[in-house]
A and B are shown apart, each in its own frame.
Chain A
Amino acid sequence: MDDIELPEGMNPEVIKHIMYPQNYGKLENPDGTGVAMDEKTNEFVIFTVKLAKDGIEDINYATNGCQDTVVIGSMFTEMVKGESVEYAKGAIAKIEAKLGVLSPQQKICADMVFNAFVASLINVSNLAQGEKEEMHVIKSEESCVIPEGENNE
């Protein structure tokens, strides 16, 4: 794409995350599985994680949500893979700094991504305490609904 002049508007990095989402799918035999679920719209984000002593060994996500969720999930997993859990907890703020001011809809998408990640850690903890929990689910309080008259950029 070196000889192609990209148009103004959407950040090419964002387009790349949409075209080729990173860490997308599910891990085999994860240590934890977490879901953020919006029961009003049936949208979900699901995380599978493998933890090592010093942090997040591997991480995958999947969603049936909008492209904002896809981009934030891709950026988030790329940022936290190989990092400590503490670092991961602050990663959403770093993404916000990278993307600029998030719209209310994008904030809800970011919350869905982060909640699914947190749910996967809760699942790890619950399993370690002997609970039989296939996945931990956090229900979303707000819906990612596009307000009338706005597009979902």
Chain B
Amino acid sequence: MNKLYQIKHELWLDILYASFAIENSEIKDKLYDFSMIAFRHMKWLGGDILEAGDDYNYDRSKMLLKRECNFDIFKYLIEEIRAAQSHYEESTLTARITTDEIYLVEYLSALLSNSTNNEKITAFNMHRTLPNKNLDALQTDSLTIFLFEESYKEYELILVYAYMQARTDNLLHFNVFQDLIDESHFHLKSFGNMMAKMGILALPRELHELTYKITDIEKFIIDGIKEEENAKEQCKALADAVNDTELSQFFDFINYQENYHIALMEKLLPKK
């Protein structure tokens, strides 16, 4: 299997989870944008690998390490980007990837030159509270479990749909997969940032190939629609349980988005 793909997959997660962990909104937003660029690198690389008759998988070998301060994250990202670059062979794609990454390293280096950017990281300390919210133990537990379940699920959906998108010749399917991937990116971002605020930021589990090597797409979609319906129920139950207007509105908003996911997924089913 393609080792470079695994390295790029891990680098995407490194940048994405760095953006979740950091509190400063300007740095957070910038890193999130870079993570989305890194995801596109991964997508393009996957396309090139398939075109060359090779294959890739979603294996990973790295854990998300707890970091104490922003500078630890910036230094780690620079090291990881440089390590990834040592694996690139010359091509139009790697030239593009390299210039993107050089710009990111320059940005991170500039941040490192100003000590006011070195804030403490609280994303891993398990305090399980939200600013200006007064949730009781049961509500906190419900929210904790929901965020772990759903952040994994969104990560899973992004990768499963990307895997299928890379292997379809059907334009309608390609576009539907892209919409679903975009939607899941937004949900993962929302949940990841909330997990960081609660001190429970953790990488989603690695996907086993049984999850994404789909042999019966119709069954996969029908089961996926059931899962979306279940996710809607979870959102609704959580919105009712948290007893906080702002949080309830947020989970209702996510719940209503799932309705359209179901409509999108139905477009993937064969016309009867």
Cross-interface CB contact of A19 among B156, B200, B223, cutoff 8 Å: B200
Q: A6-B126, A70-B205 are in contact. Are A46 and B210 (CB under 8 A)?
A: yes
From DSSP, what is the main secondary structure of chain B's interface residues?
helix
Chain A residues numbered 27-52 whose CB sits less than 8 Å from any CB in chain B: 35, 41-42, 44, 46
- A25 and B206 contact, CB distance less than 8 A: yes
- A67 and B126 contact, CB distance less than 8 A: no
From DSSP, what is the main secondary structure of chain A's interface residues?
loop
Q: Which residues of A contact B202 (CB under 8 A)?
A: 18-20
Q: A4-B199, A18-B148, A18-B202 are in contact. Are A9 and B210 (CB under 8 A)?
A: no
Other than the known A1-B126, A64-B211, A151-B237, what 10 A-B pairs have Cβ atoms closer than 8 Å?
A9-B138, A19-B200, A25-B59, A42-B223, A64-B156, A64-B210, A67-B149, A152-B145, A152-B149, A153-B145
A6 to B141, CA, bound (A): 12
CB of A93 within 8 Å of the partner chain? no
Chain B residues numbered 38-66 whose CB sits less than 8 Å from any CB in chain A: 59-60, 63
Q: Which residues of B contact A6 (CB under 8 A)?
A: 126-128
Q: Which residues of A contact B126 (CB under 8 A)?
A: 1, 4, 6, 12, 15, 19
- A20 and B206 contact, CB distance less than 8 A: no
CB of B129 within 8 Å of the partner chain? yes
A153 to B127, CA, bound (A): 18
Chain B residues within 8 Å of A, Cβ to Cβ: 59-60, 63, 125-129, 137-138, 140-142, 144-146, 148-149, 156, 199-200, 202, 205-208, 210-211, 223, 230, 233-234, 237-238, 241
Q: How far is the CB of A119 from chain B (nearest CB, A)?
A: 13
A19 to B146, CA, bound (A): 13
Interface centre among B140, B205, B207, B238 (most CB of A within 10 A): B205
- B208 and A62 contact, CB distance less than 8 A: yes
Q: Which residues of A contact B149 (CB under 8 A)?
A: 66-67, 152
Chain A residues numbered 82-138 whose CB sits less than 8 Å from any CB in chain B: none
The 6 residue pairs across chains A and B that have the minimum distance between CB atoms? A9-B137, A19-B202, A62-B208, A8-B137, A9-B141, A4-B127
| Interchain residue pairs with CB less than 8 A apart (29) | A4-B199, A5-B127, A7-B127, A7-B140, A9-B138, A9-B140, A9-B141, A10-B140, A10-B144, A15-B128, A15-B200, A19-B148, A20-B202, A24-B206, A25-B59, A26-B208, A35-B210, A42-B223, A46-B208, A63-B205, A64-B207, A64-B210, A67-B148, A67-B149, A151-B142, A151-B237, A152-B145, A153-B138, A153-B145
